Structure 1
């Protein structure tokens, strides 16, 4: 009986996935005015198979989904939505943040960073490589590390995991590092991306990583923020580091390139004056204004 229930749940799960894919397939056929017969011809398949895909009685392979996307001339965003609808990971097509076609995005990020001054803010990519920082970020972290070391910081994760760097000021750092590692681990499992797996392997080598990080992370609900504390004028001050996504819209926004996140520090004490820390003389290679 239990086996029967489990099998029924499994079938229901497959049917639910197929129904999502079916809706997407019918939608895009109608948008491009392609009949089932024509699509079958383009795919070297049969109208009966296309019909089964659309009524949910058959589930496509990943290769079939990709071929359908090509046959319907879908763009990267819509091909990824089709893959997700069929239960597959989206295709990750890297985009260079510094490429000429993304000049408008870089300008928008600079305006965002400037608007958030004096709150320390950074823009990072999907691998947490620092892309841009604002003056508040440079001024604040100058209280943590020497200017020369700060100028060489290129990755937010490395900066956090290094107990000689920002890792010295992370509250509950064992749980925070564990949660970050688990988020990378989940991404690696989902995408099987070699860069993500390399990042996970590199970060695990830091002495600051708890041996039981997987168990710690399993007990910690993921959040887009963590706490920071630092002595200012002899008094320990506490802050929240809050992360927001700045990417594409839609179901696959988390996988769309470039995957940008914006991290900003906010004071726990509303009376704290970040302006007092702002130093106009400070420079940094990633400060663009």
Structure 2
């Protein structure tokens, strides 16, 4: 896989930090971030996140998202925990959506980045069957003006399931000319499970030719997938995907048509949680 060239080499979280946990990137400013520092057991910063409540009705999923700190809370040592739990025959979990939304500046670039940990899905163990942790986005016009999915656009930066094992699948979703969902632009990358990894997504509009603009996925600072305007092929769809503002979502879904349903072996609680050290949004200086 090709390495990231130029200033983006600064992606590594071993470099100097803007704050306790937010890495700096040469040539970029941090425009929004959360390092999840706070007392053990407290909730997230409501000025940055809205905690969704209830079933989503999407994909045939089973989980009911809850308010409060039962399924979403800080660890006390700079981590966020999103914890799926089974109680009384019902799966509960957590879903956070950023209050803000961001777009890449004209003639510039934007990066969305997070360092997170998920259970060890290698070998598709039955104890994690039906779990679906994710770091992803939706076009903000979905919630601001009621533009339906998939017309609003979606960037799946990180999503894993027991069906994928130790592979993450980066995916775009958008509406094609016929009005159907196009999810054909996707690629998987293998990662070392049971460890924290940095996942990033870059929207690069620095080329004035829209066909040469790009959306790029990274694992620990290494590019693993890129989609250009030329690959999408239609200006209207590229505008939808690359020129609009998007908001961040962190959640752990449970069950559904995909990835399948949990079983009696699926583990409830902390062992099945997704843990996040930070989320940050960067724009070119």
Between Structure 1 and Structure 2, which shows a larger proportion of helix residues?
1
Return the TM-score normalized by structure 1: 0.27
Asked which structure has the greater CA Rg, the reply is: 1
Between Structure 1 and Structure 2, which shows a larger proportion of strand residues?
2
Return the TM-score normalized by structure 2: 0.27
Structure with bigger RCO (C-alpha 8 Å, 6+ apart): 2
